[in-house]
Amino acid sequence: MSNIDFKKVHFDTRAIHAGYHRDSDYGALATPIYQTSTFTFTDSDNAMDVFSGKIPGYDYTRACNPTVTVFEEKMAELEGGEAAVAASSGMGAISSALLGLLKSGDHIVCGNTVYGCTDVVMREILPSLDIETTFVDTSDVDAVEAAIRDNTKVIYFETPANPTMTVTDIAAISALKNKHKGIRVIVDNTFNTPLVQRPLDFGADVVVHSVTKYLNGHGDVIGGVVVGTADDINVIRSRAMGKICGTPLTPFCAYMIIRGMKTLGLRVRRHCESAMTLANYLEASPYVEKVYYPGLKSMGKNYEIAKRQMNGMYTGMISFEMKDGINGMSAFDAAKNLMDNLTIPAIAVSLGDPDSLIQHPASMTHVKVPKEVQKEVGISDGMLRFSVGLEEAEDLIADFDQAFAAL
Ligand SMILES: Cc1ncc(COP(=O)(O)O)c(C=O)c1O
């Protein structure tokens, strides 16, 4: 049993130790993988007590599993929530949070730049269940307030948003709850991890993550998590997540994530440091029209808000726009050619891996989004989204130097 007082120790100590009470059978240092679908009981009374909730215990891995519990408790501790529930993917976490907390007739105010599949849930799936969504630029607090109706139950956003890096003021949006009762603020914190930003500290009610990204951090697991109050997590777990609709994280994936999170602080600090270096480099490049990174002063109001709510680090994600007309090329072609010229970053979606990844939203993730909608939310033809990996920043800069020169 760990005797660490988690209120007194720092992030890295909590990331390594929170949630795991050393295996009571054999003293294993690493979290054991409880690779079992069902659990046995000592006798019929014990079975009755566990199923009725009289005593804590496990009955079936779709509902809960001891390896998964370690990860859930770790995340609740790191995000500053009362409880957490893990999911088989980030989308499993997001859809379960929404399905768990909303019912037919409810209304959502959603950021107009959110991850593509989240957009589909809001635009297509929830309306088919009579849950309506209004999309607004959540960096505009007045626009958010104007979109609130009597039946609004959730305000949902990403900050920084994907891929425009627009920053939303979590505290200002959360303050709207004082006037408009019964609303929950849900923040997708995937780009940050709790080391960089803790939305619950600024008044948000629920945090969701694609654990696939920085939290696991090695590009080899798909997972998700929802963190919030014990009551909300209980509702999400029992209504939508694992227990009933069935989107549980597997014990093996939970083990991999717990393993990855032992180095979360080290990795994320390095991702953010290198991203800051690369953002400054790109901003000075004659080939680049504009850089979108919350740590840059040129981001204006976004930078000012980021300084308040991000922990002195500004994520490892950068978006930037190529110039139009380089050697007679359109910005669209320049962006695609630059990706082809780079030797270190892989052309791939996803983010938060040790390997640098680069993608061109206009021809990849957002290729099916109508051009006028792309324009409306700030996705230009020359925009590239760059997940800065753990390679040496100097090597990445040298690679960009040669890739630009070869355009
Ligand atoms: C910000 C954000 N949220 C959610 C998701 C969905 O996560 P997953 O792919 O684990 O379902 C992604 C995936 O790229 C994402 O970038």
Neighbours of 198 (CB within 10 A): 23
3-state secondary structure of 346: strand
CA of 193 to the centre of ligand 1 (A): 13
CA distance 161 to 141: 15
DSSP 299: G
CA distance 18 to 78: 8
Contacts of residue 355, defined as CB under 8 A and 6 or more positions apart, other chains included, come to 219, 345, 346, 389, 390, 391
The pLDDT assigned to 376 comes to: 85
CA of 378 to the centre of ligand 1 (A): 20
Residue 267 known to be catalytic = no
| Residue of 208, 213, 319, 353 with the most ligand 1 atoms within 8 Å of its CB, for mutation | 213
Ligand 1, atom 2: closest residue by C-alpha = 115
The pLDDT assigned to 69 comes to: 96
Does 216 sit in the ligand 1 pocket, CB within 6 Å?
Answer: no
pLDDT in tens, 206-251: 999 999 999 999 999 999 999 999 999 999 998 766 678 888 999 9
The pLDDT assigned to 377 comes to: 82
- Residue 261 tokens read as 């999170």
User: What does residue 401 show for φ and ψ, rounded to 5 degrees?
Assistant: -55, -50
Residue 184 known to be catalytic = no
Does 190 sit in the ligand 1 pocket, CB within 6 Å?
Answer: yes
Does 389 sit in the ligand 1 pocket, CB within 6 Å?
Answer: no
CA of 1 to the centre of ligand 1 (A): 34
Residue type, 18: A
Cα dihedral 257, 258, 262, 264, rounded to 10, equals 40
Query: Which domains are present in the chain?
Result: 11-261 (3.40.640.10), 265-405 (3.90.1150.10)
Q: In what order do the strands lie in the sheet with 83-87?
A: 83-87, 224-228, 206-210, 184-188, 152-158, 107-111, 132-136
Residue 213 known to be catalytic = yes
Does 174 sit in the ligand 1 pocket, CB within 6 Å?
Answer: no
Mean pLDDT computed over 137-166: 96
The pLDDT assigned to 407 comes to: 97
pLDDT in tens, 5-48: 999 999 999 999 999 887 677 889 999 999 999 999 999 999 99
| Residue of 117, 214, 319, 351 with the most ligand 1 atoms within 8 Å of its CB, for mutation | 117
Predicted structure pTM score: 0.96
2 pLDDT band, cuts 50/70/90, is: low
Which ligand 1 atom is nearest residue 91's CA? 11
Average pLDDT, the chain: 95
The pLDDT assigned to 245 comes to: 82
Mean pLDDT computed over 320-345: 98
Sign of CA dihedral 162, 166, 172, 176: negative
Least trusted range by pLDDT, from 172-186, 362-376, 381-395: 362-376
The pLDDT assigned to 374 comes to: 86
The pLDDT assigned to 163 comes to: 87
3-state secondary structure of 155: strand
Asked whether the beta carbons of 107 and 131 are under 8 A apart, the reply is yes
| Residue of 190, 247, 256, 364 with the most ligand 1 atoms within 8 Å of its CB, for mutation | 190
Does 90 sit in the ligand 1 pocket, CB within 6 Å?
Answer: yes
Phi/psi-derived region of residue 169, left when phi > 0, alpha when psi is between -120 and 50, beta in every other case: beta
Contacts of residue 207, defined as CB under 8 A and 6 or more positions apart, other chains included, come to 79, 81, 186, 187, 188, 189, 198, 199, 200, 226, 227, 228
The pLDDT assigned to 244 comes to: 80
Phi/psi-derived region of residue 405, left when phi > 0, alpha when psi is between -120 and 50, beta in every other case: alpha
For residue 137, CA distances in Å to 114, 156, 183, 374 come to 10, 11, 18, 14
Neighbours of 397 (CB within 10 A): 14
CA of 77 to the centre of ligand 1 (A): 22
CA distance 118 to 311: 26
Mean pLDDT computed over 146-156: 98
Residue type, 63: A
pLDDT at 125 over 90: yes
DSSP 390: S
pLDDT in tens, 37-81: 999 999 999 999 999 999 999 999 998 999 999 999 999 999 999
- Catalytic residue, chosen from 184, 198, 213, 267, is 213
Which ligand 1 atom is nearest residue 158's CA? 1
Which ligand 1 atom is nearest residue 118's CA? 4
For residue 54, CA distances in Å to 46, 62, 232 come to 10, 20, 20
CA of 115 to the centre of ligand 1 (A): 6
Does 89 sit in the ligand 1 pocket, CB within 6 Å?
Answer: yes
CA of 220 to the centre of ligand 1 (A): 14
The pLDDT assigned to 26 comes to: 87
The pLDDT assigned to 143 comes to: 98
Asked whether the beta carbons of 345 and 379 are under 8 A apart, the reply is no
CA of 210 to the centre of ligand 1 (A): 5
- Residue 158 tokens read as 């990403």
